Amino acid sequence: MASLSNFDQRQTINSPQKVNDPRNFPRLRARNCAFAPFRVVYVPQVALKDARLNLDCLRVGEIISAVSSVWNVPERDIIGPRQSRRFTVPRQVVMYLARLHCSHLSFPQIARELGGRDHTTIMYGARKIESDLQRDKTLAASVRVAKVLLGIEP
């Protein structure tokens, strides 16, 4: 199959000439009514990563840095296992902001970024901060400052 460009090389599963090793690429189903009900298309991982990066999303590390500077807590303590309230609130704010602004990441991926926690911990932390923001004005102000540092809010 002819390729559209050097970057966007595609092939069908029945293609005799393999442009790339299909084990290196995820399978995506594409609808093609003219030839067959479904064709399997291979898209390079680089193309998928670039498509995700073009979204206006942040990295979890950037969020950790901003939150640690607002709460005056070292980054290693946000990622670390300590369970004191001084560290858990900023950690949960990171979970909340990561869920909002890193929409391409799943809960398990965010959990790995935050020291290998369980994904349900991320779900709980994000939900808790979301509900606390409505009641606690100082928390809401601190989250707003973190968003300004990240360039999310003017």
Over residues 124-129, the mean pLDDT reads 96
Say yes or no: 93 and 138 in one domain: yes
Q: What is the CATH number of the domain that holds 97?
A: 1.10.1750.10
CA distances 15 to 19, 87, 141, Å, are: 9, 55, 57
- Tell me the average pLDDT across 108-113: 93
Cβ neighbours of residue 78 under 8 Å, at least 6 residues apart? 64, 67, 68, 87, 90, 91, 94, 114
Same domain, 95 and 50: no
Q: In the predicted model, what is the mean pLDDT of residues 33-48?
A: 48
Q: Looking at the structure, do residues 84 and 13 belong to the same domain, yes or no? A: no
Co-location of 79 and 114 in the same domain: yes
Do 110 and 133 sit in the same domain of this protein?
A: yes
Stated pTM of the model: 0.64
70 and 44 co-located in one domain: no
Rounded to the nearest 10°, the torsion over CA 58, 120, 48, 30 is -140
- The boundaries of the domain holding residue 85 are 56-150
Predicted local distance difference test score (pLDDT) of residue 45? 52
Element (H, E) at 14: none
Same domain membership, residue 75 and residue 100: yes
CA distance 88 to 84: 6
Number of compact structural domains in the chain: 2
pLDDT, tens digit (0-9, with 9 covering 90-100), for 8-39: 444 444 444 444 454 544 444 444 444 444 44
